[in-house]
Amino acid sequence: MNKNYYAIIMAGGIGSRFWPISRTSHPKQFIDILGTGKTLIQNTYDRFLKICPKENIYVVTNEIYTALVKQQLPDMTDNQILTEPVMRNTAPCVAYGSFKIESLNPDAAIVVAPSDHLILDEAAFISTIEKSLEVATAHNCLITLGIKPSRPDTGYGYIQYTEQSLKNDFYKVKTFTEKPTLEIAKTFLQSGDFLWNAGIFVWSARAIVNAFSSYLPDMYDIFAEARPVYNTDDEKAHIHTSYLQCTNISIDYGIMEKADNVYVLPSEFGWSDLGTWASIYELAEKDYVGNAVIPADKVIMYDSSNCMVNVPGEKLVILQGLHDYIVVEANNTLLICPRDQEQNVKKVVADVKQQFGTKYI
């Protein structure tokens, strides 16, 4: 196993689209949302154990989730859990992890991935990441993984690429487009040179640090100034103070859309970002009338079809006459809504917070 390979797992989100199961105090990445026996972050960590030494895996998360990370990933040391005092999107998160790793090992090659995605074909994923780490080590480039689209989905970002390539596999990126309209998504699919943006990145430590210097110089200064304290007892206090100065900006917008050395690797490894209940429904086992029930022990359904049901295992639940609905109960909260209106969940969460405060959020 290559000692220069590192992984950064981004685990700071609150997963509000999966409310009420996902809460601010216990978000989606720490939940076994598919009923597999492991949480999403545990699955992510286990995948990276096959790519790099366990001491080279870092988790960046909000400070309030430190105990959850330690509980679910007991092999991680305190030095491997990088905590953010506030949410500032993905660019500061990537900067923190990358600068810390670069200070330890200037020859490092790093894969950065969200903690809450599903990968069905693990062998293909590992092969894809290892190939990307090799190319990132040999070339001064920033690599993003693109998923071959199976439908004109408006929930994903898209990456357009050119014919210019490295190793005949990694194509020069032409444009990034955030969540297009359905009509535009259809034209993207027809053109054949667009991929879904998986939000998984690979680069050398040098390449990403240089990119921060070029495209986010203020953020570069913040984390470069911290070089004397990385991997010391003073690191946490220093970072927690300086983090407050960071702009709230994504790595995509801050660097990937601006840099001229970005390449995409078209990939297929059974990927889903598990972004909505609809994506869980698509992946879950269903009965003969299309109902997906997690767990299924004590749920009885009459004249009901194509429903996504997730309720506490100890509760007896009877549903009758429901078609194409989401039924979710957790944390003393019951949500029932049509499957085609699940995009309203974020608004519901905002309304609940306004009426009842943070008690149910």
**Residues, the chain, total?**
361
Its pTM stands at 0.93
For residues 107 and 233, membership in a common domain is answered with yes
Tens of pLDDT along the chain (361 residues) come to 899 999 999 999 888 888 999 998 999 999 988 878 899 999 999 999 999 999 999 999 999 999 999 999 999 999 999 999 999 999 999 999 999 999 999 999 999 999 999 999 999 999 999 999 999 999 999 999 999 888 888 888 999 999 999 988 999 999 998 888 889 989 898 888 899 999 999 999 999 999 999 999 999 999 999 999 999 999 999 999 999 999 999 999 999 999 999 999 999 999 998 888 888 898 888 999 999 998 778 999 999 999 999 998 889 999 999 999 999 999 899 999 999 888 788 889 999 999 999 889 8
Q: Do residues 124 and 56 both lie within one domain? A: yes
Find the angle CA(48)-CA(52)-CA(55) to the nearest 5 degrees: 95
Q: Is there a single domain that holds both residue 239 and residue 344?
A: no
Q: What is the pLDDT of residue 13?
A: 87
Host domain of residue 288: 277-356
254 and 298 housed in the same domain = no
Task: State CA 174 to chain mean position distance.
Answer: 23
Whether 68 is covered by a domain: the verdict is: yes
Distance separating alpha carbons of residues 310 and 225, to the nearest angstrom: 47
> How far apart, in whole angstroms, are the C-alpha atoms of residue 250 and residue 247?
9
Q: What is the pLDDT of residue 41?
A: 97
Q: How far apart are CA 113 and CA 1, in angstroms?
A: 19
Return the HEC string of the chain.
CCCCEEEEEECCCCCHHHCCCCECCECHHHCCCCCCCCCHHHHHHHHHHCCCCHHHEEEEEEHHHHHHHHHHCCCCCHHHEEEECCCCCHHHHHHHHHHHHHHHCCCCEEEEEECCCEECCHHHHHHHHHHHHHHHHHCCCEEEEEECCCCCCCCCCEEEEEEEEECCCEEEEEEEECCCCHHHHHHHHHHCCEEEEEEEEEEEHHHHHHHHHHHCHHHHHHHHCCHHHCCCCCHHHHHHHHHHHCCCCCHHHHHHCCCCCEEEEEECCCEECCCCHHHHHHHCCCCCCCCEEECCCCEEEECCECCEEECCCCCCEEEECCECEEEEEECCEEEEEEHHHHHHHHHHHHHHHHHHCCCCC
Residues 226 and 114 in one domain: yes
At residue 297, the pLDDT reads: 81
Q: Are residues 199 and 254 in the same domain?
A: yes
Do 94 and 69 lie in a common domain?
A: yes
Residues 346 and 258 in one domain: no
pLDDT score at 279: 84
Residue 188 included in any domain: yes
According to the model, what pLDDT value does residue 156 have?
87
Q: Judging by DSSP bridges, how do beta strands 317-320 and 325-330 pair with one another? A: unpaired
Number of domains in the chain: 2
Q: Is residue 247 part of a domain?
A: yes
In b/e form, how buried is each residue of 143-167, taking b as 16+ CB within 10 angstroms?
bbbbbebeebbeebbbbbbeeeebe
258 and 206 belong to one structural domain: yes
**Is there a contact between 245 and 269 (Cβ–Cβ < 8 Å)?**
no
Tokens representing 185? 């998504």
pLDDT given for residue 31 in this prediction: 93
